[in-house]
């Protein structure tokens, strides 16, 4: 009988491809990126050459049309080397999927070709200074003016802000609450778009995190993703996949930390006995190793070593 947690041959190939890419292009450089606050744009674009910029974007739009499970495998593998970089790529995928799934043909043709190749990078803009967990209370407002929307407000803690070219942004176009929220694609170079200072973070330095400020930004009405008032539903559907990916990033980071602990040479002493550090590490390994399959509960599959 087939184990429901087993990966298919194709899924294993995808996982191995992501692991090889991580070993070659991410892991050797992650510490320097974090220490020197380097945004590794070229490495991120190299990931796009493998299809990792449009994992669940349709083939018609240039993506590789994989599922959420395959995306999680890729994110876990890359997070082994650098969870910050993997999470950034996950967010770009989320924004690209939202455009592909809900955007008009004109919006898809305008943005997806350059997003699939990561010639243009994208951010997901929902959180505001006054609305975090209560996202439906957002205040950034868009007012219709002819063939445009005039957007005023700000977004907080936006990954890629200032570096990325495309911002998939939730704005209020109607009444209070979730039914008054719509989704617009806003470009970095549109007049009135500016950015705050880079946030001070503990780690997570390979991607910038800033406030995005909209001061009377004129956005073409054709840049709306989905219909007016559908933005909150679209935003939540995007997060459905995004949360799976962040969970996978956490697993990959834990795996990377665990492996690095185990390869630390044993620290001896003049008596030839193992040090306290070594004994503690061995005790930790004996406790952790029998329970590694608990990771599968997060996604309902078992990840082979």
Rounded to two decimals, the pTM is: 0.84
Q: What is the mean pLDDT of the chain?
A: 87
CB atoms within 10 A of CB 130: 11
- Tokens representing 280 are 């503690």
For residue 290, pLDDT over 80 is answered with no
Res 201 pLDDT > 50? yes
Comparison of pLDDT for 230 and 133, the residue scoring more: 230
Q: In the prediction, which pLDDT does 268 show? A: 46
Are the beta carbons of 117 and 128 closer than 8 angstroms? no
Q: Where are the alpha helices (DSSP H) in 30-151?
A: 30-36, 41-48, 68-79, 83-102, 105-116
Instruction: Give percent of the chain above pLDDT 90.
Output: 74
Measured CA distances, 25 to 21, 119, 235 (Å): 6, 18, 31
> How many whole angstroms separate alpha carbon 100 and alpha carbon 65?
11
Of 65-79, 174-188, 257-271, minimum mean pLDDT range? 257-271
Q: How far apart are CA 256 and CA 80, in angstroms?
A: 5
Per-position DSSP letters for 230-288, written without gaps between them: -HHHHHHHHHHHHHHHHHHHHHHHHHHHHHHHHTSPP---TTSPPPHHHHHHHHHHHHH
Confidence tier at 278 by pLDDT (50, 70, 90): very low
For 14-65, what is each residue's pLDDT tens digit? 999 999 999 999 999 999 999 999 999 999 999 999 999 999 999 999 999 9
Which tens digits make up the pLDDT trace of 147-156?
999 999 999 9
Q: Is the pLDDT of residue 2 over 60?
A: no
On the question of pLDDT at 282 being above 50, the answer is no
């Amino acid at each position: 009988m087939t184990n429901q947690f087993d990966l298919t041959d194709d899924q294993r190939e995808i996982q191995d491809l992501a692991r090889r890419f991580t070993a070659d292009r991410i892991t050797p450089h992650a510490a320097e990126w974090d220490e020197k606050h380097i945004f590794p744009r070229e490495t991120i674009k190299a990931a796009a050459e493998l299809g990792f910029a449009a994992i669940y974007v349709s083939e018609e739009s240039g993506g590789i049309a994989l599922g959420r499970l395959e995306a999680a495998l890729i994110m876990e593998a890359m997070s082994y080397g650098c969870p910050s970089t993997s999470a950034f790529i996950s967010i770009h995928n989320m924004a690209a999927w939202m455009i592909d799934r809900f955007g008009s043909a004109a919006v898809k043709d305008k943005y997806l070709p350059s997003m699939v190749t990561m010639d243009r990078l994208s951010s997901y803009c929902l959180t505001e200074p006054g609305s975090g967990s209560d996202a439906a209370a957002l205040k950034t407002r868009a007012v219709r003016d002819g063939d445009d929307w005039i957007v005023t407000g700000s977004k907080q803690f936006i990954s890629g802000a200032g570096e990325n070219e495309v911002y998939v942004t939730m704005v209020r176009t109607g009444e209070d609450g979730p039914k008054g929220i719509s989704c617009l694609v806003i470009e970095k170079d549109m007049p009135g778009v500016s950015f705050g200072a880079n946030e001070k973070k503990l780690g997570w330095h390979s991607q910038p995190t800033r406030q995005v400020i909209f001061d009377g930004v004129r956005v073409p009405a054709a840049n709306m993703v989905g219909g007016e008032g559908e933005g909150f539903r679209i935003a939540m559907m995007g997060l459905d996949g995004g949360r799976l990916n962040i969970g996978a990033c956490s697993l990959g980071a834990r795996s990377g930390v665990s492996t690095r602990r185990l390869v630390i040479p044993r620290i001896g002493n003049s008596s030839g006995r193992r040090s306290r550090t070594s004994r503690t590490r061995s005790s930790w390994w004996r406790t952790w190793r029998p329970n590694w399959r608990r990771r599968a509960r997060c996604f309902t599959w078992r990840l082979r070593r």
